[in-house]
Structures are given as C-alpha cells and as structure tokens.
C-alpha cells in the first residue's frame, strides 16, 4: 500500500489501512516516545495515545510536508501532554550537582546518536530530558519549548545547559566519551 492509499484508507476508517499505518510508523515513533518516557510501559502508553490522535486527526493532514513529520509532531506533543498529565515533568532534581558541571558543546552534539547515548539520555531527570529531546533532537526553539511546557524561555535554556552537562558526566562515567581532564575528549573505544 502506498502512503497516499494508507491515508485515504484511514480517512475511511479502513482497519487494514490503519493497521498498515501503525505497523509502518510505530517502530520509529516508539523510539521517540522511549526518549521521553521513564519506562517502556510509559513509552508504549504514549505511543498508543499518540496513534489514537493520529487516527482521529488524520483529516487535518494537508499533504504539506512529510506525513512522517506530521505523525512525529503529534507523538511528541502526546509525550509532553502525558508527562504533564502524570505530573512527571515536575520531578525534583538535585540542582546543586547540576550547577557544578560544565558541558563542551562540540562533544555533546557530535555524539547525540546511538543506542548507548539514548540510554544515557533516559537517565536524566525528566524535565532536563524533555528539554534536551525537544531542543537538540526534535529541533524546537527555546521559545517553543517554553510555550509547550509552560515554562519561561530562560528556564528552557537553563534546563538544556544543565541537561547537556549532566549527560556529559553520565557519558564520561560510562566511558562512552573520555574525561576531558585526562586529555583528548571525544568518543572512547567501546
């Protein structure tokens, strides 16, 4: 089935088209959910809620831009709403530890790919992880993040800076990147 045929079928509530859409896009969208979620169960719940929205809002897709991008935007917003609804976004973090770390922009941005880094991102406190995902991976501006999360733009910037620093420390501890105090920074051999 082509993408257009899938969309047309979903507009008619065709179960086969809906199944095809879900099986085509759910693996990628689960990985998006997984980056935001605290657990696999939460990620699966986010995915299910997101696809319910995709199916009920498919009539709003106007063939302007990629269909996958449209689905991804719905999934990201579903993840954010899930975190807000379950009050997981406001979990406390030890700010004292976050203030004493510094980040090297080039080392963090050059390694934001791969399963190990994704697992390390998942270790961040939910507020930091959410801002990092939205800014560095999804491409939202700090102003947009502030609006989505109902926080100030400066708070978004601060959380992003702290998230990068905390992520770098996790990556160093797990020996995914080398300690800058020992010399050359970058990817360690795994």
CATH number at residue 22: 1.10.1740.10
Residues 100 and 175 in one domain: yes
Residue 14: the pLDDT is 95
Residues 62 and 127 in one domain: no
Q: What is the pLDDT of residues 65-84, one digit of tens each?
A: 899 999 999 999 999 999 88
> Among the three residues 62, 85, 108, which one is the final residue of a domain in this structure?
85
Q: How far is CA 189 from CA 92, 94, 170, 171, 175, in A?
A: 34, 31, 16, 12, 8
Count of Cβ atoms closer than 10 Å to residue 187 Cβ: 13
Is the torsion defined by CA of 103, 108, 109, 115 positive or negative?
negative
pLDDT of amino acid 176: 65
103 shares a domain with 53: no
Does a structural domain hold residue 189? no
Give backbone dihedrals phi and psi of 89, rounded to 5 degrees, phi first: -75, -25
What is the per-residue pLDDT for 87?
A: 67
pLDDT given at position 84: 86
Picking from 85, 120, 152, the residue at the C-terminal end of a domain is 85
DSSP code at position 14: -
For residue 162, tell me if it sits in a domain: yes
- Enter the tokens of residue 49: 């809620």
Looking at residue 38, its pLDDT comes to: 82
User: Do 117 and 158 sit in the same domain of this protein?
Assistant: yes
Give yes or no: residues 177 and 103 share one domain: yes
Query: How far does Cα 151 stand from its chain's mean position?
Result: 17
Domain assignment present for 155: yes
- The answer to whether residues 122 and 84 touch, using CB atoms and an 8 Å cutoff, is no
106 and 79, same structural domain?
Answer: no
Q: Among all chains, which residue has been given the structure tokens 């406190």?
A: 125
Report the pLDDT value the prediction gives residue 178, as an integer from 0 to 100: 67
CATH number of residue 145's parent domain: 1.10.10.10
Same domain, 74 and 114: no
Domain count, the chain: 2
The predicted structure's pLDDT at residue 112:
44
- Residue 177's pLDDT is 66
* 90 belongs to a structural domain: no
Residues 102 and 171 grouped into a single domain: yes
Retrieve residue 61's tokens.
């897709």
Long-range contacts of 126-130 (CB under 8 A, 24+ apart): 126/38, 126/83, 126/88, 126/89, 126/91, 127/89, 127/90, 127/91, 127/93, 127/159, 128/93, 128/98, 128/159, 128/160, 128/162, 128/163, 128/166, 129/35, 129/36, 129/163, 130/36, 130/80, 130/83, 130/89
For residues 33 and 44, the answer to whether their CB atoms sit within 8 Å is yes
Shared domain check, 176 and 147: yes
Which residue positions in the chain have pLDDT lower than 50?
A: 91-107, 109-113, 183-190
Could you say which of 49, 66, 85 is where a domain stops? 85
Per the domain annotation, does 37 fall within a domain?
yes
Map tokens 């998230």 to a residue.
163
In which domain, by residue range, is 171 found? 95-182
- pTM score, two decimals? 0.70
pLDDT of residue 190: 27
Residues 108 and 71 in one domain: no
Would residue 190 count as lying in a domain? no
């Amino acid at each position: 089935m082509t993408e257009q045929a899938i969309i047309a079928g979903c507009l008619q509530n065709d179960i086969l088209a809906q199944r095809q859409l879900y099986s085509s896009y759910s693996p990628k969208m689960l990985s998006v959910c997984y980056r935001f979620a605290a657990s696999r169960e939460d990620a699966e719940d986010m995915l299910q809620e997101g696809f319910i929205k995709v199916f009920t809002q498919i009539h709003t897709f106007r063939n302007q831009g990629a269909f996958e991008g449209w689905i991804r935007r719905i999934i990201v917003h579903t993840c954010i709403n899930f975190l807000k609804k379950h009050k997981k976004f406001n979990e406390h973090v030890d700010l004292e530890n976050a203030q004493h770390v510094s980040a090297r922009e080039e080392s963090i941005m050059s390694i934001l790919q791969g399963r190990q880094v994704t697992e390390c991102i998942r270790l961040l406190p939910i507020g930091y992880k959410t801002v990092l995902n939205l800014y560095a991976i999804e491409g939202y501006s700090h102003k947009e993040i502030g609006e989505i999360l109902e926080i100030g733009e400066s708070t978004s910037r601060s959380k992003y800076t702290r998230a990068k620093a905390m992520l770098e420390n996790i990556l160093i501890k797990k020996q995914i990147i080398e300690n800058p105090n020992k010399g050359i920074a970058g990817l360690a051999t795994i």
